[in-house]
Structure 1
Amino acid sequence: MKRILITSEHSYIGNCFWHFIKQWDNKYNVDFMSVRDDKWKHFCFNEYDVVLHVAGIAHVEAKADQAELYYKVNRDLTIEIAKKAKISGVQQFIFMSSIIVYGENNTQNRCIIIDKNTKPKPSSFYGKSKLEAEEGINKLQDDSFNIIIIRAPMVYGKKSKGNFSKLCRIAKYIPIFPNIPNQRSMIYIENLCQVIKYIIDENSNGIFHPQNNEYVNTSNLVYTIARCNNHYVAQTELFNSFIKILQRFSITANKVFGTFVYEKGIDNQYYIMNTFVEFEDSIGESCDI
């Protein structure tokens, strides 16, 4: 039986993984640990095979005056927990990082396609804090302690927070939306849980770039969410010229309508992707929030 410790009792990913893995109760035992104060330092890690570290300050909450806190939580805390896990004899440390370590769509770079040779180049303190955490824990990798870094794109699912939930609320009511031919890497929460299970089962190490089988077009995403809620959204190209001009000046416009993807096959292994929930089915399961 694999014994798994999840850091953060309130993490969306952590709780979804717990519900997902309960299908195999006889193979996995899952516990949660709060890291909101220093009590975790007295918590015994010795009985666990895997630490799934999902605690951190989210990207969507980033505020300019909180940079120091982001480094303290996303970087320093991650490294401290990983060191304790190694000393305690834990076999795997799984760190939930982010695609944001490669930067974000901005007014200079509105089309980002990440392949095996792309080097991380974060453009925000959120991304920098995640990358520096990666660099810190990678030093702990050895034959008895496997470090796994998951650079996840946008994670969505039922009751998820952040930009996806905002988009769901908008799509239920707007009558029209621009038709822009962009692409985004995203991953449905159940597909992400499948990847994490695969990593644990295989006792893997290294950096992973999970994503759905399909790239997501923002316009199609809005249209699909609306349709799942029995609402029709018309798509138009009337605003495309204006949006292209707007993208020269607005980072927000590029986050919505820019291209930001992992190249297909960026990882050598496909995490048994043939079992992944397909895009339209995942939206149907997610958009009732």
Structure 2
Amino acid sequence: MKNIKNILITGKNSYIGTSLENWLMREPDKYKVDTVDMKDGSWKEKDFSQYDVVFHVAGIAHVSSDPKMEDLYYKVNRDLTIETAEKAKAEGVKQFIFMSSIIVYGDSSSSKRVIDKNTVPTPSNFYGNSKLQAEVGIKSLESNDFKIVVVRPPMIYGKESKGNYPRLANMAKKIPVFPDIDNERSMLHIDNLCEFIKVMIDHEETGLYFPQNKEYVKTSELVKTIAEVHGKKIMMTKVFNPVLRLMFGIGIVNKVFGNLVYEKSMSDYDKANYRIRTFKESIEMTELERGQ
């Protein structure tokens, strides 16, 4: 019988943490999963030596431009990550998986923006910078006995996801017309992410990874697909495009209609297929589940 992998997820009740826990628990003969809340200091007393893998997802996820928040971002996203990794290494954990973000490359832009292997991270806010500094901080801990996986996913969506996706989904169900702007985004469905993390654990990987769906997504296509799932017709129009182009640089317009993609081959993983959901299938699943 194969050894069961013991996995500790930091960030109890987080969207990604809970999703991964449910995903792995479908195979209880292969994985045993615990979660720990990082909000108070009690995690420091926890014995990490019983775990093979620590999946560190605890952190502040939403982007804030409030300067009063800056210290907290570095404290939680950088310092807490490094402290957790140091404890994991000291107590004999074999693999540490850190959820970073595409945000380390800065914001999306009005023109085509393709990130490739040579693109240097240039965070445009302290959220992105705190994630990047965490990556740098844990990198030095890496050894043959302590493997580190850094994951920089693009926008993650799925049932109960937060952020832009539910906003767009609600719009798709209500409005009759939507701007047709030619943009491209890398996205990652939660099931594809969970499968990716599972594959990282199974293959005891180390290194920097950029998982994404097979397909790039155009915002108007996304909205149209969501509307179709709900049996609604939505008209795409270029009438608003000149006005929207003038508004580029304004946070929300950039977020919704900006361009930000990973060059496709960066996201290939030759040992296993983690992209188990197509874009269309993932939208159908998400919307039908959200509707329940």
Give the shorter-chain TM-score range: over 0.9
Q: 2:94 aligns with which of 84, 91, 95?
A: 91
Normalised by the size of structure 1, how large is the TM-score?
Answer: 0.95
Matched letter for residue 144 of structure 2: D
1:7 aligned to 2:17? no
Aligned residues with identical type, % of pairs: 49
Distance (Å, rounded) in 2 between the aligned partners of 1:213 and 1:273: 11
Deviation at 1:60, TM superposition (A): 4.2
State the match for 1:48 in structure 2.
51
Cα distance in 2 for partners of 1:11, 1:221 equals: 25
CA contact (8 A) 2:164 2:256 kept: no
1:16-45 per-position Cα deviation (integer Å, ceiling 9, x unaligned): 111111221101000011111111111000
1:252 aligns with 2:256: no
- Which amino acid letter does the alignment assign opposite residue 17 of structure 1? L
Q: Give the Cα–Cα distance (whole angstroms) in 2 for the partners of residues 179 and 26 of structure 1.
A: 48
For structure 1, the 5+ residue unaligned runs are none
Give the corresponding residue for 1:26.
Answer: 29
Give 1:224's aligned residue.
225
Aligned to 2:77: 74
| CA shift for structure 1 position 72 | 0.2
Tell me which residue corresponds to 2:273. 273
Q: Does the 8 Å CA contact 1:101/1:121 hold for their aligned counterparts?
A: yes
Q: Which amino acid aligns with 1:254?
A: N
Q: SS at 2:136's partner residue?
A: helix
- State whether structure 2 residue 212 is matched by structure 1 residue 211: yes
Hey, what does 2:106 align to over in structure 1? 103
Q: In structure 2, the residue corresponding to 1:227 is in which secondary structure?
A: helix
Q: Return the alpha-carbon distance in structure 1 between the equivalents of residues 270 and 243 of structure 2.
A: 39
Please report the RMSD computed on the Cα atoms of aligned residues, expressed in angstroms: 1.5
Q: TM-score, normalised by structure 2?
A: 0.94
Q: Deviations over 1:217-250 (max 9, x none)?
A: 0000011111111221110111122222222x42
One-letter amino acid of the structure 2 residue matched with residue 285 of structure 1: M
User: Compared with structure 1, are the counterparts of its residues 100 and 279 closer, same or farther at alpha carbon in structure 2 (3 Å cutoff)?
Assistant: same
1:113 and 1:282 map into 2 onto residues whose CA distance is 23
Moved over 4 A (4+): none
| Cα distance between partner residues in 2 of 1:157 and 1:60 | 19
Counterpart secondary structure, 2:174: coil
SS at match of 1:131: helix
Instruction: Kindly report which structure 2 residues correspond to 1:88-237, keeping only aligned pairs within 5 A, or say none.
Output: 88-106=91-109, 110-237=111-238
Q: Which amino acid aligns with 1:266?
A: M
Structure 2 residue matching 1:6: 3-state secondary structure? strand
Q: Distance in 2 between matches of 1:189 and 1:268?
A: 17
Maintained 8 Å contact 1:195/1:271: no
